[in-house]
Every structure is written in structure tokens, then in C-alpha cells.
Amino acid sequence: MFQLFKKRNFGELVGDTFTFFKMHGKHYFRNYFIINGGFLLVLLVLVYFLMKVFFEGLYSNFGGGTNTMNTNFDAYISDNLTLVIILGIFTAICILFLSLLSYAFPVAYLNLMEKKSDFTTDEIITVIKSKLGKIVVFFIASLFILIPLMAILIGLGFALAFILIGIPLLMILIPAMMCWYSLSFYDYISTDKGYFEALGDGFSLLKQKFWPTVGSTAVMYLIMQIVVGFVSMIPYVIGMISMFTTLESQNPTAGFGGEQLSFFMLMMGITMILSIVMNFVFQNFILVNQGIIYYSLREENENNTPKSEIDLIGTYSE
């Protein structure tokens, strides 16, 4: 069984994240897709229809002049404005709900793992339902308190980037803000603390082992972005290669026809869908990493390992 309460350095914070998924990845993602898969599928369907409307607008009367194409596109969107607005609203709601659920899942999963070695999907759902009020409160409160503060600090970092000092500052500030947010969320959901108390404790945990914590967060985020970016860009690259190959094989002034445009749009659609799916899936690596950081820092303060070993003596004797 994976040991949550354990004192870890930088290398162990990163390495144990992958060890967790090596040991429990099958069980984790099976439950993740059982709980979140339906909502993710709904989101993909909504995105598909939004892109379909957009691409059909681009495709309308393709082959005319630039001004004609712009006019036709604007006219097509205006004719379907009600549909675009409805799809946009439902897509935004679905993204918000799925984000809340995806953020809550690893917290509930690790919360159960803290207490038992084996648990079911129903138990995970029960934990999420029991914490639903706190989850909503945290995100609403953060929308008005923590997120604006983070936006101001990161904005100052971007402003300082013009004098070079902001570039290394941003490389520290962005993962630090992410880590503060996640540690506060874990603490708020896993305990009976109030919102501001959880923010304070999250900040204290962040300062406790600042460089290993921020460093492991930055590394996990970088790995996720590289993997997601590389895989999701493959269809886009295929579409671009196909487009330029077509242009080279025909009269350069002729442009490319509807068949080539349709293929390119298909590749763009696949790129978008892959990007959405992989972002939600690989987000779990970052969130579990934050959970491992949270339990590691708690171990530094609470020394839970000896207690856990005493509790397990009876289990081993059986």
C-alpha cells in the first residue's frame, strides 16, 4: 500500500507521485472515469457542436474573396447566434462542474486512502457528496479573494519581466501560487477548518519546505504540459503537413479546395478534443502530487507514521 504520511525531499515528492500511479493508477483512473467520464463525454459533445458551427461558418462559400468570406462568416454566426449562445452557456457550465468534480476527486481518493487500503466507487462518491458544500464554498470564496490576489501578484511578475528580474520570479511565483491554492484546498476539505484558517495553514505549509514544494510542483506542471502539448499537437501537425503538401502539388495560386479544408478542420477538431481530454486526465498527476506534498508536510508536523505502524500491528498479526 502506498504510504501517504512520509517525510519526503524534492526527489521523493516527484518520484512518489509516479510510484502512486504505478501502484494505484488502474484503480484510480477506473474510478475517475466512472465518476467523471459521463460529464467529460457531455463536454466533448458540446465542444464538438460548437466547433461544428464555427467550422461551417468558415466553410460557407469558401473560395470567394477575403471580404466575402468575412461577410459570409459573420452572417452565418448571426443566423445561428441563439444556438451559439446556448451551446456556449452549457459548455461553460459543464466545464465549471467538471473542474469542481475533477479537483475534488483526488482529495476524496487520498482522504479514503488515509483511512483504509481498499474502497469502492460508491465510497468515493459519498465522500465527494459529503464535502460538496465546502467544495463550492471554497471555489466561490477563492473567486473573490484568493484568485484576484494571485492574479495581481502574477501580473506584477509579468510587468517585471520587462526588466528581466520578472522571468525567474514568475518561474517561482506561478508554481508557488498553484501550490498555495492546492494545499489550502486539501486542508479545507480534509479538516473542519474555516476558509481563512485553511488559507493561512496552506500558506504556512508552503513556507515550511518552500523550495522542494515549489520545485516539485513546477516539475510536475512542466512534464504535464510537455506530454499534453506533444500528443495533442500531432493531429494539428498532420493537418498542416497535408495542407502544405496539397499546395505544393498544385498551382500555388489556386489555393486548396473544400476537401483539404475539411480534412484540416477535422484535424483541428481532434486536436481540441485530445487537448481537453488529456488536460483533465493529466491534471490528476499535478493534483495527486499536491496531495502527496500535503500529507508529507503534515507528517513533518504531526509524526503520523509511528501511529500508523502501531495501528497496523494487529493487521499484520492476522
| Selection from 109, 106, 91 nearest residue 48 by Cα | 91
What long-range pairs does 246-250 form, CB within 8 A, spacing at least 24? none
DSSP state of 249: T
* pLDDT averaged per 10 residues, the chain (length 318): 88 93 94 93 89 74 52 72 87 91 94 88 93 92 90 83 74 90 93 92 92 93 87 76 62 53 74 87 93 93 64 45
DSSP state of 117: S
How confident is the model at residue 315, as a pLDDT? 44
Secondary structure (DSSP) of 145-172: THHHHHHHHHHHHHHHGGGSTHHHHHHH
How confident is the model at residue 16, as a pLDDT? 94
Strand (E) or helix (H) holding 1: none
Residues 269, 140: Cα–Cα separation, whole Å: 32
Secondary structure (DSSP) of 35-101: HHHHHHHHHHHHHHHHHHHHHHHHHTTTTS-HHHHHHHHHHHHHHTHHHHHHHHHHHHHHHHHHHHH
* Cell numbers placing 237: 501537425
- Residues near 242 by beta carbon (within 8 Å), at least 6 away in sequence: 260, 263, 264, 267
| pTM of the model as a whole | 0.84
How confident is the model at residue 317, as a pLDDT? 41
